[in-house]
Amino acid sequence: MSTLSSTKDRRGSAGLLFATPFLVLFVVLFLAPLAYAAYLSLFQTKLVGGTKFVGLDNYARAVADPLLLQGVLRVATFFVVQVPVMLLLALLFALALDSGLMRLARVVRLGIFVPYAVPSVVATLMWGYLYGPDYGPFAQLSRAVDLPVPRFLSEGWMLGSLANVVTWEFVGYNMIILYAALRTIPGDLYEAAAMDGAGAWRIAWSIKLPALRPALLLTLMFSVIGSFQLFNEPKLLQAIAPDVIDSAYTANLYAYSLTFIGQQPNYAAAVSFLLGLVIVIVSYVVLLTANRRRTP
Amino acid sequence: MPGSPQFTRRSFLAATGVAALGTALGGCGSSGTAPAAAVAPVSQADIDKAMATPTELTFWTWVPDIDQEVALFQRKYPAIKVTVVNAGRGTPAYTKLRTALQAGTGAPDVSQIEFQYIPTFTITDSLLDLRPYGAEALRDKFIDWTWGQVSGQGGEVWAIPQDTGPLGLLYRQDIFDRHGLKPPATWDEFADAARKLHAADPQVFLTNLAGNQAAAWHGLMWQTGAKPYTVSGASDISIKVNDEASKKLAKFWGGLAQEGVIGTEADFTDGWYAALNNGKYATWITAAWGPVFLAGAAKSTAGLWRAAPLPQWNAAKPASGNWGGSTTAVVKTTRNPIAAAIFAQFLNSDPESAKLFATKQFFFPATKALVADPGFVGDTPAFFGGQQVNKVFADVGSTVDPTFGWPPFLDQVVTDWTETVGKSLTAKTDAVAALDQWQSRITTFAQGQGFTVR
Amino acid sequence: MRRSTPLTIVMLAALAYFLLPLFWLVVASTKSTEDLFTTFGLWFSDAPQFLTNVGSTLTYDDGVFVRWLRNTVIYAVVSASGAALLAAAAGYGFAKFRFRGQAIMSSAVLGAIMVPATALAIPTYLLFAQVGLVNTPWAIILPSLVSPFGFYLMRVYAQDAVPDSLLEAARLDGAGEVRIFFQIGLRLLAPGLVTVVLFTLVATWNNYFLPLIMLNDPNLYPVTVGLAAWSAQAAGGGSGGNSDILALLLTGSTLSVLPLMAAFLLLQRYWQSGLAAGSVKQ
């Protein structure tokens, strides 16, 4: 008994040994700056008057900050609208590719995935051009056939336009994760179902979808984080639509503006931590809902 | 917490950074390693000694091919080695400089800084007063208003002017001819022309006032005689971005935008470049650097453009403002203040170096000698149909008010402008009301940063 | 199996949507600055000059673009392989061994990615400045070595890809844990490893904000920061502005995307199977 537990201990420490390099770097490069940011968030630095300790004042201010609330609500809307569309598209594409019913599947799969390899700087540059209200191709096309010109960069459309860029960038990524998961379903399951006379749709619904649940959950979690941290795309589109995307358009953009424009890095740190808390809560709720639905 | 001992921002951050890492460098003193800048002049002997001592300087600048000017300096002072670093331009470059200054390490000795950013860096005590190094002797070489821009409220010389951007009007001769227009002498004439032109051809607008270009707006404020920001003492600031002069300006441009007879799209974007090429706008209100820029950006319209002074509010008393241009400043943390200061001065005041900026980089000069130089003002670029464009802007430059000042937190002011006044222009809402919002946002920000707002 | 033409057509339409922006970019990189603003964006101009543009992009400013590309490749490859190796070891350690504090450490790693990176930029800079890492390649490489996603993927992957029985057998043969990991574990983890390499490669390749803050010397820039610097130079609204660079900017964007695409195409067999295993379990 005692020898067994001591080998177990020894093996346990071997596990820790393997994890140590990663964990050390994680502590030094992730947790230390994070702790430092947490520490900074307890101070206030003014251009006139210097730095003083303010305790949790920054957090109290952030909780009541309408700009932060507005930013969080906007990314929440973005999440609710964009993520289902993106994941549904990714799912449909993955199922279509996996069905074996289409030609050129390889080409299509790679083509849809390619945008993931494009930096968001370049992606936004390209879409920014396509959205152009005067010389963008959609605008020119509408004008040529006397249709109203789509105002991609107007206030009402902007969130949708951003959602489109993000969807464009990440559908392929999510599709590949789902597609890869589909490929691991044992073929004999399909054969059995086909013998029972199940069609392609029926197989997709009752075999493939349940098998995809963990993969879908994974993509969902990354989408929560991605949506709530939305930054690059609005920051870059700001240059061509400064009247619509203000410095607090998304919560993360607000934290950035506070740091680099408003010179209030302490307050920005508090804002970032609150945003992180929101993300943790949303992720938790999403996980909980997904798991509860599985149990009954 | 007045009266309690206060850290400076830099030593605080440095000290906490050290503490977090657990190294033993803590408590590195109150105002960093910068040598105290006395107002008393540095003796010529000290300067000579410093300039003969092997020294390395780092110079952050975005100016292309500036090595040529730097080489002139090194020929005269072979002991000083200047490393030119293109650290980018615009907000990213300033962000970088500020972050390096906060960290207390990694900042350059000398940096390119635009006029409007000087107070933003002097409020954090980051620039070196150049008076002890003989900067005041250069005052007469530079155009008055440029010297006003680099002077501090206590008479400090924070930087040496390098290039300038007095505002003028570039216009399409062919479009003007087609519609029987002349370059408007007053803003009233300008408004009439805007209405007339757009009525005659709904595809064409007289001009575009970009809703993202706070710098151009400030140039126009400057022309109206507004004095929006005055800092006095260490912590007092007066903010008047909605005074009578500014209201006149907002009413004028807001009105034209609401009538829909001018464009308000963001500038330096694909759409805007295309518009300049396709004749959507008949004029561009721009600075002295504009002609060279336009010649590159709108090649397809070569020969069609001409330059004129800005329209005036009072034709009897012509005035203009400035947009852009830059300076060379010495960063206070430098270990070699003498060499750095002499370099900043040489680069911009040495006749050969200054001339090179005008002929190689096509900078619009800041020195009196060059704007009077027949070789410079007599240039007749084909893009402007052989007109003496530099002459137009040189004349405009002499009408710029030398007392206009900038706020000590420019980034915030610019962002707030875009989100209030700029937005109102684009959205065709009340620009005068937006001016009040701008005023109140800046005021709130200034108070939050500890200023006493008058 | 019968092929469905309607499905193929629908998917080809989808493909067109995904390739349209890239088509614009390719077309744009064949144009002169003048043609960029005077011709229809989605078709070639009368005087395509792709090679001229490539030539000027590669030679501008003493070939600084080539240096940026090279830097990006170095940063991305070193970070990606380092991150994959670290994540593989850690994932293996977490999946195949039980030790105290495992659950807490695991959730700390996953929880840390929920705080936005903007909060970390300034503190990381200040910490790096204290140890003299700012404006060195390490400032980019070190933070990229920690990949929480890679850790997660490798942990899940190791659970199944490395059978306990095999490890036991090796232990009975008297092999040490480290040797087992390198000789057996790592080989079985290879597909997962390639996946993490590729995804960290993308993350580092596209990294913009961190190098922007950390690097001052243009000779150290990765291509994203370099292109942004060109873009700022073109759209200055001030002195020293240079609109000719716009054409280079677009050509440079095209060139910067190609190597990554090539990497994905060449290695697709590996990363797809790696993802497959990683995504079905958790």
**CB-based contact, C221 to chain A, within 8 Å:** no
Q: A86 lies in which domain range?
A: 50-103+171-294
Which tops the pLDDT comparison, A19 or C246? A19
Residue A195: the pLDDT is 85
Residues 6+ apart with CB under 8 A from B108: B58, B59, B60, B85, B87, B97, B100, B331, C216
**Interchain CB distance below 8 Å, C22 and A279:** no
Instruction: Provide the phi-psi class of A164: left if phi over 0, else alpha when psi is between -120 and 50, else beta.
Output: alpha
Residues 6+ apart with CB under 8 A from A228: A72, A75, A76, A79, A251, A252, A275, A278, A279, A282
Residue A249 three-state SS: coil
**A43-46 and A50-53 beta bridge pairing:** antiparallel
Backbone Cα Rg of chain C: 23
- Note the helical H segments in A2-151: 2-26, 32-40, 57-63, 66-99, 105-113, 120-131, 137-144
The shortest C-alpha distance from C277 to chain B (Å) reads 40
**CB-based contact, B99 to chain C, within 8 Å:** yes
DSSP characters over C165-180:
HHHHHHHHTT--HHHH
Q: Which residue of C has its CA nearest to A123?
A: C21
In whole angstroms, give the CA distance from residue B104 to residue B29. Answer: 12
Q: Is residue A119 part of a domain?
A: no
Residue B409 three-state SS: coil
Is pLDDT at B19 greater than 50 in this prediction? no
Residues 6+ apart with CB under 8 A from B250: B242, B421, B431, B432, B434, B435
Residues 6+ apart with CB under 8 A from B386: B380
The shortest C-alpha distance from C235 to chain B (Å) reads 5
Do A80 and A263 touch, CB atoms closer than 8 A? no
Interface of B with A (CB under 8 A): 1-2, 4, 6-9, 12, 16-17, 20-21, 91, 95, 98, 123-124, 211-212, 234-235, 265-266, 269-271, 274-275, 280, 408-409, 411-412, 415, 418-419, 422-423, 426-427, 445, 448-451
How far is residue C161 CA from its own chain's centroid? 25
Instruction: Please give the share of chain B, as a percent, with pLDDT higher than 70.
Output: 91
pLDDT, tens digit, 9 for 90 and up, residues B210-248: 999 999 999 999 999 999 999 988 889 999 999 999 999
Residue from A74, A18, A36, A24 nearest A278 by CA: A74
Q: Which residue of A has its CA nearest to B8?
A: A50
In whole angstroms, give the CA distance from residue C120 to residue A276. Answer: 12
- Amino acid, single-letter form, for residue C36: L
Residue A192: the pLDDT is 85
Same domain, yes or no: C12 and C127: no
Q: Which residue of A has its CA nearest to B278?
A: A135
Instruction: Please give the share of chain B, as a percent, with pLDDT higher than 90.
Output: 81
The count of structural domains within chain A is: 1
The shortest C-alpha distance from A155 to chain C (Å) reads 23
**CB-based contact, A186 to chain C, within 8 Å:** no
Residue from B121, B284, B274, B298 nearest B216 by CA: B284
- CATH label of the domain that carries residue A187: 1.10.3720.10
Do A187 and A106 touch, CB atoms closer than 8 A? no
Is pLDDT at B249 greater than 70 in this prediction? yes
Domain spans, chain B: 40-164+324-377, 165-323+386-453
Residue C245: the pLDDT is 80
Residue A91: the pLDDT is 95
Same domain, yes or no: C127 and C214: yes
DSSP characters over B16-69:
HHHHHHT-S-----SSTTPPP--SSPPPHHHHHHHHHS-EEEEEE---TTTHHH
Kindly tell me the sign of the dihedral angle through the C-alpha atoms of B323, B326, B327, B329: positive
Residue B108: the pLDDT is 96
Is pLDDT at B20 greater than 60 in this prediction? no
In whole angstroms, give the CA distance from residue A154 to residue A136. Answer: 14
Q: Nearest 5°: phi and psi at B326?
A: -155, 175
Fold that domain B165-323+386-453 belongs to in CATH: D-Maltodextrin-Binding Protein; domain 2 (3.40.190)
- Nearest beta carbon to residue B274 from set A51, A135, A239: A135
Residues 6+ apart with CB under 8 A from B47: B133, B134, B338, B342
In whole angstroms, give the CA distance from residue B146 to residue A176. Answer: 59
Give long-range contacts, CB 8 A cutoff, 24+ apart: B273-279: B273/B297, B273/B298, B273/C36, B273/C37, B273/C243, B273/C246, B274/A134, B274/A135, B274/C37, B274/C38, B275/A134, B275/B208, B276/B301, B276/C37, B277/B301, B277/C34, B277/C37, B277/C38, B278/C37, B278/C38, B279/B172, B279/B175, B279/B204
Q: Cβ-count burial of A251 within 10 angstroms (0-12 exposed, 13-18 middle, 19+ buried)?
A: buried
- What is the rounded average pLDDT of the residues B200-211? 96
Residues of chain B with C-beta less than 8 angstroms from the C-beta of A34 = none
Same domain, yes or no: C82 and C206: yes
Same domain, yes or no: C212 and C87: yes
Q: Nearest 5°: phi and psi at B182?
A: -115, 155
Q: C222 lies in which domain range?
A: 50-280
Kindly tell me the sign of the dihedral angle through the C-alpha atoms of A237, A242, A243, A247: positive
Residues of chain A with C-beta less than 8 angstroms from the C-beta of C90 = 18-19, 21-23
Same domain, yes or no: C196 and C177: yes
**CB-based contact, B326 to chain C, within 8 Å:** yes
- Amino acid, single-letter form, for residue A41: S
Which tops the pLDDT comparison, C101 or B219? B219
Spell out, as residue ranges, where chain A has pLDDT lower than 50.
1-6, 295-296
Same domain, yes or no: C40 and C68: no
**Interchain CB distance below 8 Å, B88 and C236:** no
Residue B126: the pLDDT is 96
- CATH label of the domain that carries residue C165: 1.10.3720.10
The first and second tokens of residue C95, run together, are: 């999946």
DSSP A208: I
Residues 6+ apart with CB under 8 A from B380: B386, B387, B388
In whole angstroms, give the CA distance from residue C241 to residue B64. Answer: 9
Same domain, yes or no: C121 and C9: no
Residues of chain B with C-beta less than 8 angstroms from the C-beta of A261 = 411-412, 415
**Interchain CB distance below 8 Å, B271 and A132:** yes
Q: Is residue A139 part of a domain?
A: no
In whole angstroms, give the CA distance from residue C13 to residue C10. Answer: 5
Is pLDDT at B14 greater than 90 in this prediction? no
Residue showing tokens 């902007």: A158
Same domain, yes or no: C104 and C198: yes
- Sorting pLDDT into bands at 50, 70 and 90, what band is B336? very high
Residues 6+ apart with CB under 8 A from A1: none
Residue C275: the pLDDT is 64
Q: Which residue of B has its CA nearest to C243?
A: B297
Q: Which residue of A has its CA nearest to B124?
A: A47
Q: Is residue A148 part of a domain?
A: no
- Sorting pLDDT into bands at 50, 70 and 90, what band is C279? low
The first and second tokens of residue A233, run together, are: 């795309």
Q: Kindly list the distances between the CA atom of residue C216 and the CA atoms of A80, B85, B104, C131, in Å, as whole numbers in the listed order.
A: 40, 7, 15, 16
Convert B255-275 into a string of H (helix), E (strand) and C (coil). Answer: HHHHHCCCECCCCCCHHHHHH
Residue A52 three-state SS: strand
Kindly tell me the sign of the dihedral angle through the C-alpha atoms of B65, B69, B70, B75: positive
Which tops the pLDDT comparison, C131 or B252? B252
Residue A9: the pLDDT is 56
Residue C272: the pLDDT is 67
Residue A110: the pLDDT is 87
Same domain, yes or no: C29 and C142: no
DSSP A295: -
Q: Is residue A264 part of a domain?
A: yes
Q: Kindly list the distances between the CA atom of residue B420 and the CA atoms of B66, C4, C14, in Å, as whole numbers in the listed order.
A: 38, 55, 40
Lowest mean per-residue pLDDT among A236-250, B8-22, B344-358: B8-22
Do A177 and C149 touch, CB atoms closer than 8 A? no
In whole angstroms, give the CA distance from residue C181 to residue B32. Answer: 50
**Interchain CB distance below 8 Å, B324 and C229:** no
Residue C277: the pLDDT is 56
Is pLDDT at B6 greater than 90 in this prediction? no
Judged by CB atoms within 8 Å, which residues 377-406 of B form the interface with C? none
Q: Which subunits count as partners of chain B given 3+ CB pairs below 8 Å? A: A, C
**Interchain CB distance below 8 Å, B25 and C235:** no
Residue A294: the pLDDT is 54
Cβ atoms within 10 Å, residue B369: 14
**CB-based contact, B117 to chain C, within 8 Å:** no
DSSP characters over C88-135:
HHHHHHHHH---TTHHHHHHHHHHHTTS-THHHHHHHHHHHHHTT-TT
| Residue contacts between B and C (CB atoms, under 8 Å) | 144
**CB-based contact, C47 to chain B, within 8 Å:** no
**Interchain CB distance below 8 Å, C238 and B326:** yes
Instruction: Establish whether domains B40-164+324-377 and B165-323+386-453 are of one fold.
Output: yes
Q: Which residue of A has its CA nearest to C177?
A: A14
Same domain, yes or no: C102 and C23: no
**B159-172 and B110-114 beta bridge pairing:** unpaired
The count of structural domains within chain C is: 2
Residue B4: the pLDDT is 34
- Nearest beta carbon to residue B213 from set C33, C132, C237: C237
The second-level CATH assignment, the architecture, of B40-164+324-377 is 3-Layer(aba) Sandwich (3.40)
The shortest C-alpha distance from B43 to chain C (Å) reads 34
- What is the rounded average pLDDT of the residues B323-351? 96
Same domain, yes or no: C272 and C241: yes
Residue showing tokens 């946002």: B441
Q: Which residue of C has its CA nearest to A113?
A: C18
Average pLDDT along chain C = 85
Which tops the pLDDT comparison, C227 or B420? B420
Backbone Cα Rg of chain A: 24
Q: Is residue A154 part of a domain?
A: no
Q: Nearest 5°: phi and psi at B131?
A: -60, -45
**CB-based contact, C186 to chain A, within 8 Å:** no
The shortest C-alpha distance from C117 to chain B (Å) reads 16
Q: Is residue A186 part of a domain?
A: yes
B58 DSSP β-pair partners: B83
pLDDT, tens digit, 9 for 90 and up, residues C249-266: 899 999 999 888 888 788
pLDDT, tens digit, 9 for 90 and up, residues B93-134: 898 899 889 888 889 999 999 999 999 999 999 999 999 999
- Sorting pLDDT into bands at 50, 70 and 90, what band is B333? very high
Q: Which of A5, A9, A18, A240 to mutate to test the interface with C (most CBs of C within 10 A)?
A: A18
Complex confidence, ipTM: 0.87
Q: Which subunits count as partners of chain C given 3+ CB pairs below 8 Å? A: A, B
Do B101 and B331 touch, CB atoms closer than 8 A? yes
The first and second tokens of residue C266, run together, are: 């060449």
- What is the rounded average pLDDT of the residues B323-352? 96
Is pLDDT at B372 greater than 50 in this prediction? yes
Q: Which of B16, B101, B265 to mutate to test the interface with A (most CBs of A within 10 A)?
A: B265
In whole angstroms, give the CA distance from residue B131 to residue B120. Answer: 20
Residue B60: the pLDDT is 96
B111 DSSP β-pair partners: B60, B329
Residues of chain B with C-beta less than 8 angstroms from the C-beta of C238 = 89, 114, 165, 215, 287, 289, 323-326
**CB-based contact, C114 to chain A, within 8 Å:** yes
Residues 6+ apart with CB under 8 A from A295: none
Residue A23: the pLDDT is 95
Same domain, yes or no: C252 and C144: yes
Give the dihedral of Cα atoms A286, A290, A291, A296; nearest 10 deg. Answer: 140
Residues of chain B with C-beta less than 8 angstroms from the C-beta of A32 = 20-21
In whole angstroms, give the CA distance from residue B392 to residue B372. Answer: 12
pLDDT, tens digit, 9 for 90 and up, residues C116-132: 776 677 788 888 988 88
- Nearest beta carbon to residue B96 from set C34, C213, C239: C213
Do C246 and C35 touch, CB atoms closer than 8 A? no
In whole angstroms, give the CA distance from residue A175 to residue A219. Answer: 9
In whole angstroms, give the CA distance from residue A218 to residue C110. Answer: 12
Q: Can you give the pTM of this predicted structure?
A: 0.89
